[in-house]
Amino acid sequence: MPNPAKRLTTLDLLEAKRAGRKIVALTAYDALFGQLLDESGVDVVLVGDSVNTVLAGQDTTLSATLEQMIYHTRMVRAGVRRALLIIDLPFLSYQVSVEEAKRNAGRAMQLTGANGVKLEGGRAMRDTVRALVDIGIPVMGHVGFTPQSVHALGGARVQGRGPEAGERIVADARALEEAGAFSVVLELMPSAVAARVTEALTIPTIGIGSGPHCDGQVLVLHDMLGLNERFQAKFVKAYANLGEQVRAAVRQFAEEVREGRYPDAAHSFEQ
């Protein structure tokens, strides 16, 4: 487990790749879960725009707002002391112009205490990434399936199948590295393509649905804990079944209240 006294930086992720140490990343949306992840030794805590689907109940991430992301990242920052904290830039907060991307990313960093931002897209985002890095904002890239382009991609589909499609992903990832990104998320692509990208880059790759050859892995916390039962995907491994445990606990609480067994003397105050 990483040294709990050391606050991690982007340089630590680069060193992890060089040393062959796998990077562990998970999402969080509030202080309590942020603290639990931090205390468990997670390297990267990502406040993903997946908050819009997981907590807000929306069908896609597209309606997530910058204010929403800032609000949740400030909460997570209150719980995270050691891990690298990254805020997702939501749809249309960075695509309109480089200047708007600088203004929104800078505001997100200023108001949240995040250690960097994540944005989606490859070669098309090269100038934006370079501009952010040039003013001191660390950038995590994201290629393959990019959820903010879900409609253009025809849904949540594996990307990079076939030689030409695979080459495009490699080229996208290289463009992000050349622009100064410190790492790249690889989402929903064949394992062999993710392996090629990982080998081609000197910066770390963080996989989600992209096989075992990436430098690290990320999952949405609520999926990994078995809380988000609406979402089923081949790449998600549930390490707990908290959804059913929550229902069982609530049913027990309701039964005890209705039968007058709660609160009992042990949970009440005497005069």
Could you tell me where in the chain the CATH 3.20.20.60 domains are found?
A: 10-240
The values of phi and psi at residue 87, to 5°, are -105, 130
Q: Nearest to residue 127, comparing CAs of 155, 100, 167?
A: 100
pTM: 0.96
Instruction: Determine the 3-state secondary structure of 30 from DSSP.
Output: coil
User: pLDDT digit string (tens) for 124-163?
Assistant: 999 999 999 999 999 999 999 999 999 999 999 999 999 9
> Do 173 and 141 meet the contact criterion of CB atoms below 8 Å apart?
yes
User: Which two tokens mark 167?
Assistant: 């080459």
Reported as a pLDDT band with limits 50, 70 and 90, residue 5 is low
User: Which amino acids are annotated catalytic?
Assistant: 187
Longest dimension (CA), the chain: 77
- What pLDDT, on a 0 to 100 scale, did the predictor assign at position 271? 87
- Tens-place pLDDT, residues 36-57: 999 999 999 999 999 999 999 9
- Please tell me whether residue 143 adopts helix, strand or coil conformation: strand
Where does the pLDDT of residue 230 fall: very low under 50, low under 70, confident under 90, or very high at 90 and above?
confident
Q: Is the pLDDT of residue 2 over 70?
A: no
**Fold exhibited by the domain 10-240:** TIM Barrel (3.20.20)
pLDDT of residue 78: 98
Contacts of 47 (CB under 8 A, 6+ apart): 27, 28, 29, 69, 72, 73, 76, 85, 86, 87, 88, 114
Continuous H helices in 64-212: 66-79, 98-112, 126-134, 163-179, 191-200
| CB of 184 closer than 8 Å to CB of 140 | yes
User: Which tokens is 19 given?
Assistant: 């040393």
